[in-house]
Amino acid sequence: MSYYQNDNFNNKETSIDLNSFSEKAKKATTPSKKSSKSNGPKRSKLVTGILALFLTFVILGSFLVGGFLYYAFYVVDSSMDVDLDNLELNYTTTIYAKEQGSSEFVEYQRLHGKDNRIWIDDENGNMPKNLKNAFIAVEDKTFRDHKGVNWKRTFSAFLNLFFKFYSSNQGGSTITQQLVKNITMDDEAGGIEGANRKIREIMRARELEEQYSKDTILECYLNTIAMGGGMYGVEVASNYYFDKSAKDLNLVECAALAAIAKSPEDYRPDKNPKANKERRQTVLNLMLEQGIITEKQHKKAYDADLKIAANKENLNEVEINSYYTDLLINDVVKDLMAQYGYTETEAYNQFYTKGYKVYATVIPKIQSALDKTFTSSKYKIKNADGDYLQGSMTVMDYKGHIVGMVGGIGEKSKNLSFNRATSAVRQPGSTMKPMSAYAPAIENNLITYSTIVNDKETYYGKWKPNNWYSDKYRGQITIEYALRISANTIPVMLVDQLTTQSSYNFLVEKFGLKNLTKEDINYSPLGMGGTNGGVTTLEEAAAYAAFGNGGFYYEPITYYKVTDQNGNTVLTNESKAKVALSEDTATVMNKLLQNVVYGAEGTAAGMGSTVSNMKIFAKTGTSNENSNSWFTGGTPYYVASAWCGFDEYKPLTMSQASTSKQLWREVMSAAHKGLKVKKFNDSSDVVSRKFCRTSGLIATSNCTSTSTGWYKKSNVPTTCTIHPSSASNTAK
């Protein structure tokens, strides 16, 4: 039988009753009462199991939360000894100076250690609303509402570490938490310690929120946040990136700074402008979404160009400080040690990290002239041995304020290096004579302006002074002429009359020369400047000031005062006047030293043109074996001393020896540009009289060779007896 046959057979023999099948199917699918009772307990067990599991999780969660809270509150140290109103961080010290002719202090230079931070208060518009809102929008939009912690963000960030809901790690830290990290430097990242750190951060953030206002917290945050390149806070960042103060930032610049916060080095607008632009556009979008800025503001700022002015000069920073700044630092450090008992290391640390405001005596224009002159290639001079000529110069006003200083010729290569202006103690040569001989002799009425003295060979024991000029001795000459031509015999004679001890005491006690030795209590050191110790340009400038300010000596100072960043005084520094000479002696010396510049054969001849329409007093000096060259003198505004020589004692050529004059002329000419014509203040106790050049006495009508002299009223010479007349000429 074939298959098909069999199929046909089955179809015929086995017909299906569809109605019957349907009834059976219904019966099969409809549970009986017995079946329903048997399935009930199974469902009940499932529900019970689910509830039990849920309760287990609840109980376990409660234990975990309870354990976490116990751990957070009683185990983890969340204490934070910090006062946000007086936050102790590393701050940048700022030097302020007055521009020439101004009474207002302006920022001159900044100095800092590792951290560069200038604190600004959230007052008087120092922090624009857009700046604060930009940071809030991108870093912590719920800042104004939370209590230090955004729990949703915190748990999302935690869960994302395990389940990777987001493509990148999500930051859970609020602005308050970030502030905690900034001021505690507690930044352990991984493991148990990382978890502990995060818990400490959360608890500390909540503590800060309980103690301080949102405005205070935000102010501290914006002053402590890292902004790249070792800069901290929005003020330094504004200065560096945009060459302006934070209070002057526009919306685009505010967004650019807020963009940096995510990763300072990666989003710096100067080094990564594309990344910064993308990020600041995100900031602007968020500000728009949060209703902080309008559509119009957003549109204008979104594609606006960002003008970057990134330069350290914007921060008033220099890699290598000037010699003046070096001295200022040392002076402040020394005074901190003296007043507060700090060690030297502690004092330097205080200076570089406490954000001091130092009010300096420097005049930027003069310091700039010094730096420019002493680095000029024309003063890069070598001797036959290949040694470079060196030099230094100090410029002061007549109240003891150092307004400029340089301690070497050529580029300065490192900070706190050897400063020849303060530390190169050299023989002063003939610049010693006015201080050691002429001034004390006039003060003690041993001589007058026109006293006749004998320039002749004279022995003091077995030693005699020799003159530098070729004709050796010039016989009967006046005091004025002896000083003008820088005779050696006359000041030695005066020292002998004064006594060497008296002359030495005058230098140390009246003129502040502290580097002289006991071996200098002798004729050659005192009368001719061939000292065993010596002087510096700083000492000479301070001493010569007495010839231009009425006879006062002021201890040189580099600063007026130092305050902390809140304006509280840390140090005060006032140079008190000490009488070195009587006012009338100082005036007579001033007139005598003017003749060195303007008189015939004066050793400073030709220097009178340095300052237009103003008088100069000065003295030149050359030491033993021509190894040191000096030019020290003053104008009605400033007194300055310039020195040149080789670091090792070696002779100078005539052209090399003239370098001190050239340096003095160039610097002082620049320093006086634009200044009004001024005169020295002469003492009312000094009178001018015609004197007889033959006798040195007050001239009569019969004296054929006369000149004008200046005399103390208490010591006016008598009338000439060599050329008597019926009436002496005493007219002014």
Cβ pair 573, 559 in contact under 8 A: yes
Three-state secondary structure call for residue 390: strand
Q: Which pLDDT score is estimated for 622?
A: 94
Comparing 104-113, 173-182, 384-393, 613-622, the range with the smallest average pLDDT is 173-182
Secondary structure letter of residue 3 according to DSSP: H
Q: Which pLDDT score is estimated for 35?
A: 47
pLDDT per residue as tens digits for the range 454-485: 999 999 999 999 999 988 999 999 999 999 99
Q: Which pLDDT score is estimated for 102?
A: 95
Distance CA 428, CA 603 (A): 15
Distance CA 709, CA 732 (A): 10
- The one-letter amino acid code at 440 reads P
pLDDT at residue 74 above 70? no
Which residue(s) pair with 691 in the sheet?
Answer: 698, 707
- Token code pair at residue 210: 């309980």
pLDDT per residue as tens digits for the range 494-545: 999 999 999 999 999 999 999 999 999 999 999 999 999 999 999 999 999 9
What value does the mean pLDDT of the chain take? 88
pLDDT at residue 252 above 70? yes
Q: Give 444-504 as a DSSP string.
A: TTS--TT-EEEE----BTTB----SSTT---EEEEHHHHHHHT-SHHHHHHHHHH-HHHHH
pLDDT per residue as tens digits for the range 556-574: 999 999 999 889 999 999 9
| CA nearest neighbour of 99 among 399, 363, 403, 396 | 363
Comparing 53-57, 322-326, 335-339, the range with the smallest average pLDDT is 53-57
pLDDT confidence tier of residue 276, bands split at 50, 70 and 90: very high
Q: Which pLDDT score is estimated for 170?
A: 45
Which residue(s) pair with 93 in the sheet?
Answer: 111
- Residue range 679-702: average pLDDT? 97
Confidence (pTM): 0.83
Q: Which pLDDT score is estimated for 19?
A: 47
Residues for the chain: how many in total?
A: 732
pLDDT at residue 651 above 70? yes
- The one-letter amino acid code at 687 reads V
Q: Which pLDDT score is estimated for 70?
A: 53
- Residue range 365-378: average pLDDT? 98
More confident residue, 197 or 93: 93
Query: Which stretches does DSSP call E strand in 164-245?
Result: 231-232
pLDDT per residue as tens digits for the range 373-430: 999 999 999 999 999 999 999 999 999 999 999 999 999 999 999 999 999 999 999 9
- Residue range 7-30: average pLDDT? 43
pLDDT confidence tier of residue 81, bands split at 50, 70 and 90: low
Cβ pair 264, 279 in contact under 8 A: no
More confident residue, 711 or 145: 711
Angle 468-474-477 from CA coordinates, rounded to 5°: 115
pLDDT confidence tier of residue 4, bands split at 50, 70 and 90: very low
Distance CA 316, CA 364 (A): 12
The percentage of residues in the chain with a pLDDT greater than 90, rounded to a whole number, is: 72
pLDDT per residue as tens digits for the range 162-221: 454 544 444 568 999 899 888 886 665 544 455 666 777 888 888 888 889 999 999 999
H/E element, 396: strand 390-396
List, edge to edge, every strand of the sheet that includes 390-396.
402-406, 390-396, 639-645, 628-634, 617-622
Q: Which pLDDT score is estimated for 60?
A: 63
